């Protein structure tokens, strides 16, 4: 069953307190039949109801291990797809708001990736020379593409392990959709920038010459996160001029220049753990999504830690944190009535191919 906007709209007149109380009541009514997964970037009034919170890899693994009948994913579309792929056939993955997506994931679609593969095959023996690697922030059909071409999925947590595995199999990597995660990870592995090229999917042959393709070790898709793209080295310089003791920590979806100016670079889990383990009085400038930064500020201010958002401008991902408490309540109360709404179901063949790539990732992840 798909979403009925009139039903959701009927909840918008409720007060925040009543919505929160009804979510709790619905969770209690569903009991062990339900698990709510909450990504770190979710807004607080939704995030507080998560049974499990974390980044993509952690939540994907938890979805696979869950005994719940219903997996309600407070995240975005590709995350709910992964939950459906790795869970048991009888489990049902649900996304409370179908408009919750990822602009980065939308920058790589199957048609463009398959066209790039065909064009690369004019220069290289692609199935012998290139390992396709897709960031987990991508659609299920791109994970399936990697599955059938001997490729793999990665997260920001395990990208280095995945690239090690990939280069152990073939000499080159086609990395999509986020160029920055690919570039930052590869550079930290000792691969020089001159061995990386950017594939512009709007240009024939990616805008590259045959010589550039032959000479490249990393072929980076021209994709990016709109939030992390806003972080600039100049803001780091300005902030540290006022607070020279500041430690800078960034997500690897940030630009190469920002990551090079950062003291620490890592996934959302890494950012949380690093700040949690730091000494009282430490000041942090954080380059990642605002909801997470605000949560860290509130969580650690009582320990005398100062957590600041890197950008001077508020930049929130309108799709990543789109799920509101009304949508969560709507999906849960329908489940209480044994009505499934907004089920995410990946076609069987596609899911099987995607699972190959996901399992490769899970097998090598620490």
Q: What is the mean pLDDT of each run of 10 residues along the chain (366 residues)?
A: 54 86 97 93 90 83 87 93 93 93 86 98 97 96 98 95 97 97 98 98 97 98 89 95 97 97 95 96 94 92 95 56 87 94 96 96 85
Pair 271, 208 in one domain: no
How far, in Å, CA of 36 to CA of 94, rounded?
Answer: 10
**pLDDT at residue 55 in the model:** 81
Residue 180 shares a structural domain with residue 111: yes
- Same domain? For 113 and 208 the reply is yes
Last residue in a domain, options 225, 253, 271: 225
For residue 90, the SS3 value is coil
DSSP character at residue 312: S
Task: Find the CATH number of the domain harbouring 325.
Answer: 3.40.50.10800
Q: In Å, how far are 46, 75, 229, 233 from 36, measured between CA atoms?
A: 10, 10, 30, 37
Residue 200 lies in a domain: yes
Burial of 366 (0-12, 13-18, 19+ CB in 10 A): exposed
157 falls within a domain: yes
The answer on 217 and 156 residing in a single domain is yes
Task: Please give the pLDDT value at position 321.
Answer: 57
Q: Given 225, 245, 268, which residue is the final one in a domain? A: 225
Clarify whether residues 185 and 238 are in a common domain. Answer: no
pLDDT of residue 236: 96
* Contact of 299 with 47, CB cutoff 8 Å: no
- In angstroms, the CA 84 to CA 355 distance is 10
Q: Please indicate, yes or no, whether residues 114 and 219 belong to a single structural domain of this protein.
A: yes
Residues 206, 143, single domain; the answer is yes
Entry pTM: 0.90
* Separation in Å, CA 331 to CA 73, 94, 99, 118: 11, 8, 14, 42
Q: Which pLDDT belongs to residue 9? A: 64
Residues 160 and 72 in one domain: no
Q: Give the per-residue pLDDT at 319.
A: 53
For the chain, what is the domain count? 3
Query: Hey, what are 3's tokens?
Result: 């979403």
pLDDT at residue 6, as a whole number = 42
129 neighbors 171 (Cβ within 8 angstroms)? yes
Does some domain include residue 150? yes
pLDDT for the residue numbered 103: 79
Q: What is the DSSP string of 144-179?
A: HHHHHTT-EEE-TTTHHHHHHHHHHH-SEEEEES-H
Confidence at residue 92, expressed as pLDDT on a 0 to 100 scale: 96
DSSP string for residues in 250-274: E-TTS-HHHHHT-SEE--HHHHHHH
Write down the pLDDT at residue 329: 95
The domain boundary residue, chosen from 167, 196, 225:
225
Whether the bond between 43 and the residue before it is cis, its omega within 30 degrees of 0, is no
Query: Does 200 share its domain with 119?
Result: yes
Q: Are 26 and 336 in contact (CB under 8 A)?
A: yes
Same-domain status, 130 and 177 = yes
- Per-residue model confidence (pLDDT) at position 41: 81
Task: Give the whole-angstrom CA distance, residue 230 versus residue 82.
Answer: 28
Do both 141 and 184 map to the same domain?
Answer: yes
58 within some domain: yes
Range of the domain at 63: 5-101+319-347
**Is residue 361 in some structural domain?**
no
Give 14: exposed, middle or buried? Use CB within 10 Å, 0-12, 13-18, 19+.
middle
- Please check whether residues 343 and 303 belong to one and the same domain: no
* Residue 337 falls inside a structural domain: yes
Residue 66's φ and ψ, nearest 5 degrees, are -70, 145
CA distance 8 to 213: 50
Residue 95 lies in a domain: yes
Question: For residue 178, is it within any domain?
Answer: yes
Between CA 1 and CA 53 the distance in angstroms is: 27
């Amino acid at each position: 069953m798909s979403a009925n906007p009139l039903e959701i709209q009927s909840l918008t007149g409720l007060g925040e307190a009543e919505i929160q109380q009804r979510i709790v009541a619905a969770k209690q009514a569903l009991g062990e039949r339900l698990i709510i997964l909450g990504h770190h970037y979710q807004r607080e009034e939704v995030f507080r109801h998560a049974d499990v919170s974390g980044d993509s890899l952690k939540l994907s693994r938890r979805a696979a291990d869950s005994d719940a009948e219903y997996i309600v994913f407070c995240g975005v579309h590709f995350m709910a797809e992964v939950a459906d792929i790795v869970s048991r056939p009888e489990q049902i993955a649900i996304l409370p708001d179908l408009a919750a997506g990822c602009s980065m994931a939308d920058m790589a679609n199957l048609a463009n990736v398959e066209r790039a593969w065909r064009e690369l095959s004019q220069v290289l023996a692609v199935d012998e020379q290139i390992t396709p690697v897709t960031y987990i922030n991508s659609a299920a059909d791109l994970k399936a593409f990697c599955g059938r071409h001997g490729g793999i999925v990665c997260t920001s947590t395990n990208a280095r392990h995945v690239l090690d595995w990939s280069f152990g199999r073939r000499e080159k990597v086609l990395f999509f959709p986020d160029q920055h995660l690919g570039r930052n990870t590869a550079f930290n592995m000792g691969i020089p920038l001159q061995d990386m090229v950017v594939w512009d999917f709007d240009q024939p042959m990616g805008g590259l010459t045959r010589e550039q393709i032959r000479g490249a070790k990393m072929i980076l898709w021209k994709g990016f996160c709109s939030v992390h793209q806003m972080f600039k080295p100049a803001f780091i310089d300005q902030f540290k001029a006022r607070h020279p003791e500041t430690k800078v920590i960034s997500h690897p979806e940030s630009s190469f220049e920002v990551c090079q100016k950062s003291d620490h670079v890592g996934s959302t889990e890494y950012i949380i753990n690093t700040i949690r383990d730091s000494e009282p009085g430490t000041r942090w400038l954080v380059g990642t999504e605002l909801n997470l930064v605000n949560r860290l500020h509130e969580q650690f201010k009582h320990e005398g830690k100062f957590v600041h958002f890197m950008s001077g401008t508020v930049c929130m991902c309108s799709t990543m944190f789109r799920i509101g408490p009304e949508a969560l309540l709507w999906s849960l109360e329908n489940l209480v009535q044994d009505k499934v709404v907004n089920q995410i179901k990946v076609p069987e063949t596609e899911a099987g191919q995607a699972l190959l790539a996901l399992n490769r990732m899970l097998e090598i992840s620490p």
